[in-house]
Amino acid sequence: MNSVAVAISGGVDSSVAALLLKDRGYNVFGITMSLSEYSEKTIETAAQVADKLDISHYVVDLKTEFNERVIKPFCHEYGLGRTPNPCILCNRHIKFNLLFDKARELGANLFATGHYARILETQEGLKLFKGIDFAKDQSYFLYMLKQEQLKHLLMPLGGLTKTEVKNIACELGIDTLIEHESQDICFIPNNGYDEFISENVDTKCGDILDIDGALIGRHRGLAYYTIGQRQGLGLSSSGRRYIVRLDPANNTVILGEREQLFLTKLRAGKLTWISGNVPFCMEQIAARIRYRAPESPVKMRFIDGFCDIEFEQPQWAITPGQSVVFYRGDEVLGGGIIETPDSSMS
């Protein structure tokens, strides 16, 4: 019998994933990451869920690794005026790497999560697809998965809607154990970004300029700002101007009009592909520049390990440090990290 370690986060989704796999006859146990000082409530709830499901439960202390592989790079990138996605860093380095290795040490030959995505076997190999509930689809966060990982990975919620998952949780009674959905960034309590940045990121004040280079104010440090931001600029009157660019070389924040945030080009690096190779066919590929952004058809050109991407529809607030993810229909092809917007393409 296959032994499956389910990454239980203390939320409805991972709890229902464990239940479904147990009902299918797998030998299931729960495994929960201890990632920071704020993990205690998560671990307590996950243990209660495991007890309710009558499965074994293990806690794996990955605080040191999480700090080195996720928090420190996150802070470093913010200090450079970039906006990284910590969930993607965690999936790449922690959840589908170190945690999976710990699960195998505990006897699992399969690993499962509560992500809304699907893994299908085809003649070309294993492929990753969006979850059928497009409002909850989480395939954007999984573009870095590789064939060797997909061979041992289960995502039982990919064919369900969130409503169906909640109903299953209610029928079992595990919904009463879970107080709320997971927060955006697990190591920043109560979304206290400013406090976190002030304690963890080296910042230096600098100038706020308009798009023509005129001085209009001072900023607190690039880490406090992001592309597309309009509120919290500390200016007595910024009108309806938005941050259109952060310039780390000169430590400046540049403001412009909203229309100037709509761009059609970007350059991406650190590319990974689900198949292990750049797609042979470059037709009918669309891309998404952030989790909730709409997809747009793209043209792609590869140069020296980078990919220059041109969108059919202009994209709002292309942000360095975020991920761009490539799709063909519902299939996830891969993705990379946005290096610069509006790269030159001939």
Question: Would you please indicate which residues are annotated as catalytic (active-site) residues?
Answer: 90, 186
Residues 156 and 17: beta-carbon distance below 8 Å: yes
Order the strands of the 215-219 sheet from edge to edge: 215-219, 206-210, 252-256, 242-247
Q: What are the structure tokens assigned to 37, written together?
A: 């000082």
Burial class (CB in 10 A: 0-12, 13-18, 19+), 270: middle
DSSP string across 31-96? EEEE-STT-HHHHHHHHHHHHHHT-EEEEEE-HHHHIIIIIHHHHHHHHTT----HHHHHIIIIII
Rounded distance, CA 113 to CA 26, Å?
14
Rounded distance, CA 10 to CA 31, Å?
10
Rounded distance, CA 298 to CA 317, Å?
17
How many Å separate Cα 193 from the centre of its chain? 17
